[in-house]
């Protein structure tokens, strides 16, 4: 089992490196310039204000961008779109690569049950999403957090943002909690990607299915966040579980933490179950 | 011609899926146009009550910027993002799949020069992308006409729609170059999403911070809709940069592909 884990880690090391580097840079350049954001309403901002709410939510502009909270929510939504796709695609590829590379029979004749293969692969996947999350964490630590405390003018905007959110949570604490929520959602998408790959007949289309899961979740999140009345539908989209606006306001929701744990455990069990019965060619 | 036909046939299902997805994406947003127009009207009244006009407030042509085309331009950046992923993924895939599916030696032992194979692959991709652009452009035109109560300048609209082509060709050739340089590329769609999103977020950061340094690093700035809305033309300098980079990627890709080492199965 450990051999599979090690192999999967090594096989994805290069792509993981580039993802981590890319995400690190992306966040760094997004936040390092934060204090230069002018609070004057420019033409583009006026444009966003005039958009219907659904469009605003979809583009991540749920709060004014000149507040640190609003900017963080917006950037984090885009980042999460990217890293959820990474997680789902990783999960799908962990399972389907054996068939694509025609190494499946080599792997499955080893004296290891199929369940152990899946669990080892899932562990390798989880390690990788943790590393990617750490890259985000690190990047925020060196860009956004110093920018927040360096500029004393910002504290007024932090106040405005906190007031708009109606939260008494410390902003830094809220940011760390959002990142923790992000990590849990990454793991959920990783497992969903693995289920997609074990459930689909063809091994070539799994990447497309996994990507579609993420996009559907994104669309559904937009609907739920816009309407404000169909919160129960949020159960269907991992984007909503720990959406940063809600985390910044109220911290991680216990109900969704429980749901996430259930989804992850049932998901691993389901992919073991499906993989055991799968006709591997 | 065989390679070209084969590539198009192989991509036909994916092409159809992308065209449907992009068209649905465009259609999904258009029903919001009347609500947007209402918001603009009420803001106009508000400003008129304060004895001000918006043109004075932001210094550009109000009727165009907040008209149907302004709305369309805002939405279109989202479609450009998705279409960009398609183009980049196609560019990566069209080169990388021969090694991925172990068909490289089958293809390269045919009595065809590598230059010819490369050109046919590129043209097959360009044909597929042009089909996408025409269909998506038409869908945008008709849905905009259906939902807009105001008329809009057709020339500006065409310029806006054409950013889809320039953007897709840029990312397509970039994909080809990357695939030629990195022979062991496995998952193309992940790489495509990563790179395109990187460009998009750079574009957003460039807009929010208004730092000109960022403009040089993202194709969303080379072919920017906001500039077209404001000036009724492309930013010539940026357009030239974008197009010459496209050409450069194409040529360097050819040079690399012609000389690269391909492992047999």
Nearest to B32 among A42, A52, A90 (CB): A52
What is the average pLDDT score of chain B? 88
A40 touches chain B (CB under 8 A): no
B52 touches chain A (CB under 8 A): no
Nearest to A30 among B35, B201, B210 (CB): B201
User: Is this prediction's ipTM beyond 0.90?
Assistant: no
pLDDT tens-digit profile of A50-107? 888 888 888 888 887 778 888 899 889 989 999 999 999 999 999 998 888 888 888 8
pLDDT tens-digit profile of A254-267? 999 999 999 999 99
Which has the minimum average pLDDT: A23-27, A33-37, B44-48, B222-226?
A33-37
Kindly state whether residue B45 falls inside one of the protein's structural domains. Answer: no
pLDDT tens-digit profile of A66-81? 788 888 998 899 899 9
- The verdict on a CB contact (< 8 Å) between B190 and A59 is no
In this prediction the pTM is 0.88
- The verdict on a CB contact (< 8 Å) between B60 and A43 is yes
Query: With 50 as the cut, is the pLDDT of residue A225 above it?
Result: yes
pLDDT attached to residue A272 = 94
B208 touches chain A (CB under 8 A): yes
Contacts of B25 in chain A (CB under 8 A): none
What torsion do the CA atoms of B12, B17, B20, B21 make, to the nearest 10 degrees? -140
Q: Using CB atoms within 10 A of its CB, is residue B90 exposed (0-12), middle (13-18) or buried (19+)?
A: buried
pLDDT attached to residue A200 = 86
Q: How many whole angstroms separate alpha carbon A271 and alpha carbon B216?
A: 45
Q: What is the mean pLDDT of residues A2-8?
A: 92
Q: Are A210 and A92 in contact (CB under 8 A)?
A: yes
Tell me the three state secondary structure of residue B61. Answer: coil
A30 touches chain B (CB under 8 A): yes
Q: What is the mean pLDDT of residues B83-89?
A: 96
pLDDT attached to residue A37 = 63
Contacts of A205 in chain B (CB under 8 A): none
- The verdict on a CB contact (< 8 Å) between B198 and A26 is yes
Q: How many whole angstroms separate alpha carbon A139 and alpha carbon A54?
A: 30
pLDDT exceeding 90 applies to what percent of chain B?
A: 50
pLDDT tens-digit profile of B30-57? 888 888 888 888 877 777 776 565 555 5
pLDDT tens-digit profile of B147-185? 988 888 899 999 999 999 999 999 999 999 999 998 788
pLDDT attached to residue B61 = 60
Residues 164-193 of A with CB under 8 A from B: none
Q: What is the mean pLDDT of residues B254-259?
A: 94
Q: How many whole angstroms separate alpha carbon B86 and alpha carbon B168?
A: 8
pLDDT attached to residue B74 = 85
pLDDT attached to residue A42 = 52
Residue, of A6 and B262, whose pLDDT is higher: A6
Number of domains in chain A: 1
pLDDT attached to residue A41 = 45
Contacts of A58 in chain B (CB under 8 A): 78
Q: Kindly list the distances between the CA atom of residue A104 and the CA atoms of A13, A96, A194, A199, in Å, as whole numbers in the listed order.
A: 21, 9, 16, 16
Query: With 80 as the cut, is the pLDDT of residue A34 above it?
Result: no
Structure tokens at B145: 């006409």
Kindly state whether residue A13 falls inside one of the protein's structural domains. Answer: yes
All residues at 6 or more sequence positions from A9 whose CB lies less than 8 Å from its CB, including other chains = A124, A127, A128
Domain hosting B212: range is 2-32+64-259
Kindly state whether residue A118 falls inside one of the protein's structural domains. Answer: yes
pLDDT tens-digit profile of A183-193? 999 999 999 99
Query: With 50 as the cut, is the pLDDT of residue A195 above it?
Result: yes
Q: How many whole angstroms separate alpha carbon B153 and alpha carbon A152?
A: 47
Kindly state whether residue B127 falls inside one of the protein's structural domains. Answer: yes
Q: Using CB atoms within 10 A of its CB, is residue B227 exposed (0-12), middle (13-18) or buried (19+)?
A: middle
A46 touches chain B (CB under 8 A): yes
Number of domains in chain B: 1
pLDDT exceeding 90 applies to what percent of chain A?
A: 46
Kindly state whether residue B57 falls inside one of the protein's structural domains. Answer: no
pLDDT attached to residue B53 = 57
Contacts of A223 in chain B (CB under 8 A): none
B42 touches chain A (CB under 8 A): no
Residue of chain B whose alpha carbon sits nearest to that of A64: B208
DSSP B173-232: HHHHHHHHH-TT---HHHHHHHHHHHHHHHHHHHHHH--HHHHTT-HHHHT-HHHHHHHS
Domain hosting A16: range is 2-34+59-276
Q: Are A174 and A77 in contact (CB under 8 A)?
A: no
Kindly state whether residue B39 falls inside one of the protein's structural domains. Answer: no
A205: confidence class by pLDDT, cuts 50, 70, 90: confident
Contacts of B32 in chain A (CB under 8 A): 51-52, 54-55
Kindly state whether residue A50 falls inside one of the protein's structural domains. Answer: no
All residues at 6 or more sequence positions from A156 whose CB lies less than 8 Å from its CB, including other chains = none
pLDDT attached to residue B62 = 66
């Amino acid at each position: 089992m450990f051999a599979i884990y090690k192999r999967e880690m090594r096989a994805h090391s290069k792509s993981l490196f580039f993802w981590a580097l890319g995400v690190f840079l992306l966040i760094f350049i997004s936040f390092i310039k934060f204090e230069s954001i002018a609070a004057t309403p420019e033409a583009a901002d006026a444009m966003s204000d005039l958009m219907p709410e659904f469009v605003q939510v979809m583009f991540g502009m749920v709060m004014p961008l000149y507040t640190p909270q609003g900017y963080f929510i917006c950037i984090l939504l885009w980042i999460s779109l990217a890293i959820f796709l990474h997680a789902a695609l990783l999960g799908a590829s962990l399972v389907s690569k054996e068939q694509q590379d025609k190494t499946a029979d080599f792997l499955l004749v080893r004296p290891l049950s199929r369940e152990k293969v899946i669990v080892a692969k899932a562990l390798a996947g989880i390690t990788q999403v943790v590393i990617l999350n750490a890259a985000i964490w690190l990047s925020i630590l060196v860009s956004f957090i110093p920018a927040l405390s360096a500029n004393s003018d910002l504290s007024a905007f932090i106040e405005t943002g906190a007031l708009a959110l109606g939260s008494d949570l410390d902003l830094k604490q809220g940011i760390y909690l959002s990142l923790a929520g992000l990590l849990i959602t990454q793991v959920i998408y990783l497992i969903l990607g693995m289920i997609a790959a074990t459930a689909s007949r063809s091994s070539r289309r799994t990447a497309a299915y996994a990507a579609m899961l993420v996009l559907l979740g994104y669309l559904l999140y937009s609907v739920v966040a816009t309407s404000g009345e169909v919160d129960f539908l949020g159960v269907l989209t991992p984007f909503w579980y720990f959406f940063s606006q809600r985390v910044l306001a109220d911290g991680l929701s216990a109900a969704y933490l429980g749901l996430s744990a259930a989804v992850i455990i049932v998901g691993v069990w389901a992919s073991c179950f499906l993989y055991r019965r799968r006709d591997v060619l | 011609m065989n390679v070209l036909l084969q590539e198009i046939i192989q991509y036909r299902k994916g092409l159809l899926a992308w065209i449907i997805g992009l068209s649905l994406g465009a259609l999904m947003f258009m029903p919001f146009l009347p609500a947007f127009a209402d918001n603009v009207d009420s803001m106009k009244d508000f400003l008129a009550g304060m004895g001000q006009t918006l043109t004075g407030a932001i210094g550009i042509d109000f009727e165009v910027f907040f008209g149907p085309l302004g709305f369309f331009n805002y939405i279109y950046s989202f479609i450009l993002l998705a279409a960009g992923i398609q183009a980049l993924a196609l560019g990566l895939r069209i080169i990388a799949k021969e090694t991925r599916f172990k068909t490289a030696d089958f293809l390269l032992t045919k009595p065809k020069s590598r230059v010819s194979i490369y050109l046919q692959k590129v043209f097959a991709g360009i044909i597929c992308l042009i089909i996408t652009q025409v269909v998506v452009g038409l869908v945008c035109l008709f849905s905009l006409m259906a939902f807009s109560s105001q008329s809009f300048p057709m020339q500006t609209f065409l310029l806006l729609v054409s950013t889809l082509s320039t953007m897709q060709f840029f990312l397509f050739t970039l994909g080809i170059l990357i695939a030629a340089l990195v022979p062991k590329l496995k998952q193309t769609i992940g790489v495509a999403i990563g790179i395109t999103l990187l460009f998009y977020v750079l574009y957003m950061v460039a807009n929010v911070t208004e730092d000109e340094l960022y403009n040089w690093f993202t194709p969303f700035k080379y072919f920017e809709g906001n500039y077209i809305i404001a000036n009724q033309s492309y930013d010539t300098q940026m357009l030239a940069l974008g197009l010459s980079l496209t050409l450069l990627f194409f040529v360097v890709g050819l040079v690399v592909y012609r000389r690269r080492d391909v492992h047999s199965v």
